[in-house]
Structure 1
Amino acid sequence: MVLTLGFMLAEVIGGLLSGSLALLADAGHMLSDGVSLLLSWLAFIYSDKQADFKRTFGWHRFQTLAAFVNGLSLLVIAAWIIWEAAWRFYQPVEIMAKPMFIIAVLGLLVNVVVFKILQGGDHDNLNLKSAMIHVMGDLLGSVAAIVAAVLIYFYAWNWADPLLSLLVAMLIIRSGWQVVKKATHILLEGSPNNIDTDAVKNKIIADIKTVIDVHHIHTWSLTNDKHLMSLHIKVDEHVDDYDVLREIKELIERNFPIFHTTIQIEHLDCPDDACR
């Protein structure tokens, strides 16, 4: 985080002196990266905090909230790059290719180091994934700035700077939208894509003979890899509730990626209006 923010200042100075939009865009994205890494760090700290009476599932969803904010910041940065690039097509500015090239190469090295550090983490963690996408966007921005600097130096193609900035912005939008979409799905308590509720129902009925029916199945997630489920189970009138609960929980734990399960046992018809 310190490395990213430190070099961001260098890119701002270099972008202003050289007149390069690619460097300024990369600097803006690196600022977003620094905030992203800070949020990721805070998310990892808070997600380990114990549950309390206000947050009975703990702070796990802080990771998803941080990922959502990171994804939105990617989209905002991309929109700014597109606006500035479009403006520069109409009003070209003189660009100093040499300092632009040097700073872009140094930026590429910094981004490679940061990306390698993040690559050692949990790739299934949505928050870490969003931080990696931030850094990948920076890395691509540095590559674009290098290519633009070469084209400007040898061919005086000043339009290469806004053009390549636009291409990077398109990649950032694609990646940022995927993070926002997935985080929004979790925050709205959408069903996890890797859990088939029909398969859960059929498995319980097939393997536990005392179960008559399974209904009111709901699944949602705290994070990208912590899924929850609630369900109603209708059983034979003469079975012990504890034994059935233990069997069902063990079956779900063995066969499905469920972090926490809430089960309502019913011996008669379901009393809820939705069952009628």
Structure 2
Amino acid sequence: MAHSHNHNHSHEVTGKNLSVSIFLNIAITLAQIIGGFISGSLSLLSDALHNFSDVLSLILSLFAHKLAKRKASEKYTFGYKRAEILAAFINAATLVIVALFLIYEAVERFSKPEVIGSGLVIWLSLLGILFNGFSALILKKDAEHNLNMKSAYLHLFTDMMASVAVLVGGLLMKYFQWFWIDSVITLGIAIYLIIMGFGLLKSTTKMLMLFTPEDLDINEIIAKLHNVTGKNTLHHIHLWNLNDNKLHFEAHLECTENISISDFNSIVSEIEEVLHHEFHISHCTIQPEFGKSCSKEFIVQD
């Protein structure tokens, strides 16, 4: 059985910016909880709750990021490389859960609007925009290269947008006494959280279930590979994400002749080149077969 390991050099993701974001979010959360109770603003408390969930999510993301860097061992042959996918899944799920709770609270409050201290709401929402905006900005580059960091970035970005919404609500309450807008803003924040969280939840679920990556076509890959394998055909194929930047491919190669190991290695080398350069697949395992009686379908249930 032949194996290949190709390492892609790209942007290095570190946990430093995540640590800064955690500190800033703790400060925002405490300020908004105190301010929400003093002012009576549900939208401010909902933003604080969202921020608190973000603190937990960011800590989880940082822990998973550190964990993923641990080396493989005899007990953990893949290491902890899937830890970040799991963290991203949990973070996406918390976005949706928090959103459902906010919808319930907003509907309850809408029928009984309360007088709210809008001045405090305005100043604390400005603080939220500043801190969350800065946190999202320093994580943006990492988010482009890492699904775990993307989940953290989405939490922070939605926090910033939520603070913008709270600011608008605070201004409307201050100058027009539209206190019912507090519930409307809360409902808007919740819907936005569901939209943002669902996409990430869907993509991480597919990775955890070892589904074929959406941007790759098994049939196209096989067609390309059969150009180099000739009469030798591939079957029993699996293609999955180990994590968000490492793709694994495995297949059986049915050889028409009882070829030597060196000839087989030559074929595998060509397969590796196609997979790496055309499809960015970083790890390949090919099992040779000759005259073996089994299904020759591309996809076979194990």
TM-score (norm 1): 0.94
User: C-alpha distance in 2, partners of 1:122/1:181?
Assistant: 17
User: Relative contact order: is structure 1 or structure 2 higher (C-alpha 8 Å, sep ≥ 6)?
Assistant: 2
Q: Does the aligned pair in 1 maintain the 2:228–2:271 contact within 8 Å? A: no
1:212 pairs with one of 204, 211, 232: 232
Letter in 2 for 1:244: I
1:85-139 C-alpha deviation (Å, 9 max, x unpaired) = 1111122221011111111111111111111111131414211111111111111
Stretches of structure 1 lacking an aligned partner (at least 5 in a row):
none
Q: Choose which of 235, 239, 247 in structure 1 pairs with 2:270.
A: 247
Within 5 Å, give how 1:71-86 maps onto structure 2: 71-86=92-107
CA contact (8 A) 2:240 2:249 kept: yes
Letter in 2 for 1:213: T
Does 2:278 align with 1:258? no
The whole-number CA distance in structure 1 between the counterparts of 2:194 and 2:156 is: 14
C-alpha change, 1:22 and 1:254, in structure 2 (3 Å) is same
**Structure-2 residue corresponding to 1:18:** 39
Give the aligned length: 274
Q: What TM-score do the two structures reach when normalised by structure 2?
A: 0.86
Distance 2:80 2:295 in 1: 31
SS of the counterpart of 1:53?
coil
Per the TM alignment, residue 270 of structure 1 is displaced from its structure 2 partner at its CA by 4.5
State the SS of the aligned residue for 1:121.
Answer: helix
Equivalent residue, structure 2, for 1:195: 216
Distance across 2 between alignment mates of 1:245 and 1:259: 14
Q: Which of 117, 126, 129 matches 2:138?
A: 117
Alignment of 1:33-182 (within 5 A): 33-182=54-203
CA distance in 2, matches of 1:74, 1:23: 17
* Aligned residue in 2 for 1:226: 246
1:271 aligns with 2:294: yes
Q: 1:112 to 1:157 in 2, by over 3 A?
A: same
Residue pair 1:230, 1:262 contacting (<8 A) in 2 also: yes
Are the aligned partners of 2:41 and 2:182 in contact in 1 as well (CA < 8 Å)? Answer: yes
1:236 equivalent in alignment to 2:259: no
Residues in 1 aligned to 2:136 and 2:246: alpha-carbon distance in whole angstroms = 25
**Mind listing any 5+ residue stretches in structure 2 that lack a counterpart?**
1-21
Corresponding residue SS for 1:120: helix
Helix, strand or coil at the partner of 1:190: coil
Contact 1:232–1:263 (8 Å) recurs in 2: yes
